[in-house]
Each structure stands twice: as structure tokens, then as C-alpha cells.
Amino acid sequence: MKHTMPELSPVALNSIRSAAAIIRGSKNAVVLTGAGISTPSGIPDFRSTSSGLWQKYDPFEVASLSSFRYNPENFFKWMRPLATDIFAAHPNPAHVSLAEMEKLGYVKTIVTQNIDLLHRRAGSQNVLEVHGSFASLTCVRCYHQFASDCFIQPYLEEGKIPVCPDCQGLLKPDLVLFGEQLPVKIWLKAQQACKTCDLMIVAGSSLEVLPVAGLPMRALENGAHLILINHSETYLDVRADVLLHEDLDLVFPHILQALLDESIVSC
């Protein structure tokens, strides 16, 4: 039984049908997601000109590795409202649709710039979080890693800075801060996935942050198709097989429905 979905323009629906046809014809699709896929869940983005966090704060003062080292209290104070939004958020229809597309075999890997864990919570299994996530914290003194579950509520509710139970060192969330390297193993997996895919779907990323912004080029250099879904323009718009400047939480359910409809017809 079909669910009623919000209306999109005839041009957008035609692009969605084209996107679904390319996805059906692919064998190794990789999805690269940015902040735009999570804003419908109530998580603010960082770079939009109207409401991005970096319009209000200097990232090197509040979210750099050096600022964390010299003034961790300031970092945790700044991060607390964002962390509250993240842990209160729920996966939206775009996350859920991508998880279902993975179950159906249409998506092999999700590479995400987001730290909010929403892909995992939606049910996606093969997720590469290249900027880290709030899933764990690491002691800056003894380097032991801990799941964030036991520490996050006292921090969100009371502002209690997480401390290592073994050595009393500060626990840093396993997020990639400015001036910090990407997690090497995850980054190598992301590069390999993009080099070997036959389809790259970019969703909700302005493709402005290096080195992640270069991943779609690796796919294109190896002959992959490109589907690009984002509100703002990117440097790769001219290379896209399908380009949609629409809301992701509207587009992905329509793409999923088109894939399901074709599966039913094929049976």
C-alpha cells in the first residue's frame, strides 16, 4: 500500500525517475551525505549563509584542536546546545529511505560528514563517519576509549565535563576538530569505496570542506555516475547526471518509492 507523499514539481519528479533508473542500473552505489540531510531533523548546519553555526562563532576559537587543548571548558560549553540538539533528534525520511535502500541492495556504503549518528539510528549498517561521531570519547591522557552512553546525560543535563574513570583525564568526544586529522582507517575505507563505486550520490553537502569534497571526483575519474541532491550549488553541478535542488526528506522517499514500484512490476 502506497503512502501519500508531499507534492514535488513535474520537473523534480522527472529527475527522480531518472535518478531511480540510474540507481537500479548500478551495482556499487556510494552515498556521500552532509549537514543538509540532518537539518530536517532539527540539527543546525555549519556553513549556510543564513543560519550556519560558523556565521555566529569562529570555529578556530570554539572547535579547533588547539582551542580544546588550551580551553576545554569553552569547547564543552559551546558544544552543549549542539549536543543537546543531536541527542534529541530523530532520523528523518531521508535517513530512513537510505537505510531501506541499503537493505534492498541499492546502496552499498554511506560516507557521512555528519557527527549525529542518525544514519546508524535509522538502520544503515555500512556507515563511514569521516568526521567522527558522538558514539565514543577518548581520554587525552591515557588514550582509553569509552562509549559515550555513561557520560552524555550528566553533560547534557548538568554541564558536567566527562572525565576518564581510570586516570581522571579529560574525555574528548571522537569528533574531528579543526586542525585534527581524519580517522585514518575510516578515511582509507571511504577513499576506496569512492574509487571503486559505479554511482556516487551526493546528498546535502556543499562540497566545500576538503578533503571530503574531493571524494566525488575520485568516483567520476573512474567513470561513475553522479546524482547530486542539495539546495545550494556545488562545484560539481555541471558534472551531475541528475541534479536536484530540493528538500532531501522529500526526494529520498520518492526515489525509494520509484525503486519499490519497479521491483513490484518486475516480479
Q: Which CATH number applies to 48-88+133-175?
A: 3.30.1600.10
The predicted structure's pLDDT at residue 54: 42
Q: What is the pLDDT of residues 181-227, one digit of tens each?
A: 999 999 999 999 999 999 999 999 999 988 999 999 999 999 999 99
The label of the residue with cell 559551546 reads 78
Vertex 74: Cα angle to 68 and 77 (nearest 5): 120
pTM (2 d.p.): 0.90
Distances (CA, A) of 263 to 28, 105, 123: 18, 12, 21
If 0-12 CB within 10 Å is exposed, 13-18 middle and 19+ buried, where does residue 210 land? exposed
Is residue 1 within 8 Å of residue 77, measured between CB atoms?
no
Residue 263 clears pLDDT 90, i.e. is over it:
no
Q: Report the catalytic residues.
A: 131
Residue 167: per-residue pLDDT: 96
Q: Which has more confidence, 261 or 30?
A: 30
CATH class of 1-43+91-131+182-267: alpha beta
Residues 126-181 pLDDT 10s: 999 999 999 999 999 999 999 999 899 999 999 999 999 999 999 999 999 988 99
Residue recorded with cell 556565521:
55
Checking if the pLDDT of 107 tops 60, the result is yes
The answer to whether 109 and 33 are in contact (CB under 8 A) is no
27-81 confidence digits (pLDDT tens): 999 999 999 999 999 998 754 444 444 445 555 566 788 888 999 999 999 889 8
pLDDT value for 178:
86
207's CB contacts (< 8 A; 6+ apart) are 34, 213, 216, 234, 235, 236
Alpha carbons within 13 A on the beta-carbon side of 133: 21
Domain ranges of the chain: 1-43+91-131+182-267, 48-88+133-175
DSSP run (H or E) holding 72: helix 72-88
